[in-house]
Structure 1
Amino acid sequence: MKTIIKTILAVPLASVMLFSCSKIENGFQSDNIRYKSNVIFCKRGMSLTMSDRINADGSTPPYNFEMMNLRDASTGQAAPAEFFTDYEMLVFKDGMVFNAETDTTVELLNKKRETVSRPPMEFNPVSGQLIFNRASANLPLGRYAFDVNFTNTRGAKLFENLATIEIVDPTIEDMFEVTYQAATGSSASEVFTTTTAPRLSCRKVSNEGARVILKIIDKNGNAFNPRAGEIVKRGDRPMFESHVKFNPVVTTDTALICDFEVAPFPLTKLIASNGTDWGYLNYYRIPMAYASIDNLPNNNVNPVFGFRVLMEGTYIVEVRLPSVTRVPR
């Protein structure tokens, strides 16, 4: 019986010794790291575009990602030099923000800005995110593949063709957003009646400059004349020039023109000194002498609208009043 007991006890002891001699792997490294989507879109020229993070699929941190072999996805040739070229850009200094109430001249604005040189695309080695800035306007259209070398305590592993970058031109929906649109009629005694809301549209006419040409038009496409007093302010409520004051708004026979300097425009919501949050709103009035509202005679027209232009360039923004006819004088 003693011999049998000794034999039984020897088996687990041998297993422990064998296990203690085996190499213990340090950490975990997944074979399935990935982006949420393996196609990353860059809308060239936008102020800031960021991809999703790489999902490390439970791999042991800390880890490091390195982009490798960026190339044309069709030909396999190395990506063009524009990806790695530094371009000069005006950016806000660290900790500096735009204030429409106090940044009233280009000189004051420039005290908060500096010129930096950066490539149009940067790769974050901690998150694996791709970050594109406005210098991406210089990137050639196309599709580009890349590999990622993943390193953690377990070692390094190369993931080939982890994702592709699609360089595309932004659509007008990427460059322009409507934040508000409404309208009222008002009688001589200031009785207000809700009317059909205006419809805003935008057309980019040039990549140059930073300009909005704002037109308020009637249902037939006829532009009201701000120079002749057909478009006027509404008391102390915000208007076009309230959102950016360092360049005066220029009036023509058909439009209000604003050079906004820095995108997005408006860059921030307008907060009055008394704390009122006006958002991105613009208030105007078309006196009843110059306009006729369908089924609402002898009323001023009071359009209220908000919009943002999200990148530099020259744009025509039209505010169409669907139930209003211009009365020429």
Structure 2
Amino acid sequence: MKSRILLVCFTGTIAISSWSCSKIDKGFLSQGIRYKSNIIECKRGMALTLSDRIDADGSTPPYTFTMLNLRNKITGESAPAEFFTDYEVLMFKSGSVFDPSKDTTVELLNKKRELVNTTPMVFNETSGQIAFNRASANLTLGEYVFDVEMSNSWGKRLFKDFAQINVVDPLITDMFQVTYQAATGSTAAEVFTTINAPQLSCTKISNEGARVILKIVDKNGNPWNPRAGEVIRRGDRPTFESHVKFNPVIETDTALICDFEVAPFPLTNLVGDDGTDWAFLIYYRIPMQFAQIDGVPSNNVNPVFGFRVLMEGTYVVQVKLPDVTRISGATQSPGTT
């Protein structure tokens, strides 16, 4: 009886001893974490540019990422101080909902916005995602690399030369989009002839403000004079002003100017009271006394075009009519925009 009891105890002791010697790993931290692309592009001055999140490759959550040693790829020198300097940036308030159909005045818009002090680049330590904002206009062009340290319950691991940031200037296609272009000539009896479509181009002249200077010019680059009635509305169809929510359009001797406040501009498709979706279309007429179409005499000129400006700044948008010549009628004041 005693020996049976001893045997049971002995067997139990062996089982317990075997279990207590087993080692259980505490978490897992992969050596293969990565961005989808290890080259991240920062387009200077854009309202918001986001990188991918870091793929943790099955690592045990929760985990954190820390960006370390941001430096110039070629020289190895530390990244310029502008990366870590706070700038005042106008942003929508956290939790606010901007409704372009209702928030149609600067006063209403400003209730949803505030000036925020922020660095041009913000690194999210939970996801590894990098966000660049308008303050990135202050960054120096170049290629920069950085290391990442990841930590979780397993411990910490350093990933050298983890990814590269290329600070570049946005292309005009990043800032400006043509959505439509066409034109006709029309007689006094409203008989229409299709002519060559206008050619739209855009030049950014400043990072400051939020302004479009719209010029309609002939094939030689001569602008018509909106202030003198050389560019007029076409019935009840939408004009430049139809898309302007916040400030009145200013007419000068050479241009139509609007301060659009917030990009993109136009914010949304224009929908008429009857439900017609005009998208971003703009219609104008240049009366026949101010224009000569090649080979089509005594016709009004009817340009139709649409565009969007995708980031704040000051732009000259030119609408060039390639087979039309301006007839000098009204004089233009020198030096007007």
| TM category, shorter | 0.7 to 0.9
Aligned-residue offset at 1:27:
4.9
Aligned-residue offset at 1:70:
1.9
Whether 1:89 aligns to 2:119 is no
Give the match for residue 8 of structure 1. none
Whether 1:185 aligns to 2:182 is no
Residues 149-186 of structure 1, C-alpha deviations (whole Å, 9 max, x = no match): 22344433211110121222223222222122122223
**Compared with structure 1, are the counterparts of its residues 86 and 273 closer, same or farther at alpha carbon in structure 2 (3 Å cutoff)?**
farther
Residues 204-254 of structure 1, C-alpha deviations (whole Å, 9 max, x = no match): 222332221111111221211111111111223222222224322111221
Root-mean-square deviation (CA), in Å? 2.6
Q: How many residues align?
A: 315
TM-score, normalised with respect to structure 2: 0.83
- The residue type paired with residue 252 of structure 2 is T
**Compared with structure 1, are the counterparts of its residues 63 and 277 closer, same or farther at alpha carbon in structure 2 (3 Å cutoff)?**
farther
SS in 1 for 2:91: strand
**Compared with structure 1, are the counterparts of its residues 250 and 157 closer, same or farther at alpha carbon in structure 2 (3 Å cutoff)?**
same
Correspondence 1:39-50 to 2 at 5 A: 39-50=39-50
Residues 109-132 of structure 1, C-alpha deviations (whole Å, 9 max, x = no match): 212222222211111223321100
Give the match for residue 67 of structure 1. 67
Q: Which moved more, 1:186-195 or 1:120-129?
A: 186-195
Give the match for residue 158 of structure 2. 158
Identity %: 69
Aligned-residue offset at 1:95:
3.0
The answer (yes or no) to whether the contact 1:98–1:268 under 8 Å persists in 2 is no
Cα distance in structure 2, aligned partners of 1:196 and 1:22? 82
Structure 1: runs of 5+ lacking an equivalent: 1-13
Give the match for residue 78 of structure 1. 78
Give the match for residue 148 of structure 1. 148
Q: Which moved more, 1:90-99 or 1:128-137?
A: 90-99
Structure 2: runs of 5+ lacking an equivalent: 1-13, 330-337
Aligned-residue offset at 1:19:
9.2
The answer (yes or no) to whether the contact 1:98–1:109 under 8 Å persists in 2 is no
**Compared with structure 1, are the counterparts of its residues 292 and 24 closer, same or farther at alpha carbon in structure 2 (3 Å cutoff)?**
same
SS in 2 for 1:302: strand
Give the match for residue 125 of structure 2. 125
TM-score, normalised with respect to structure 1: 0.85
**Compared with structure 1, are the counterparts of its residues 297 and 155 closer, same or farther at alpha carbon in structure 2 (3 Å cutoff)?**
same
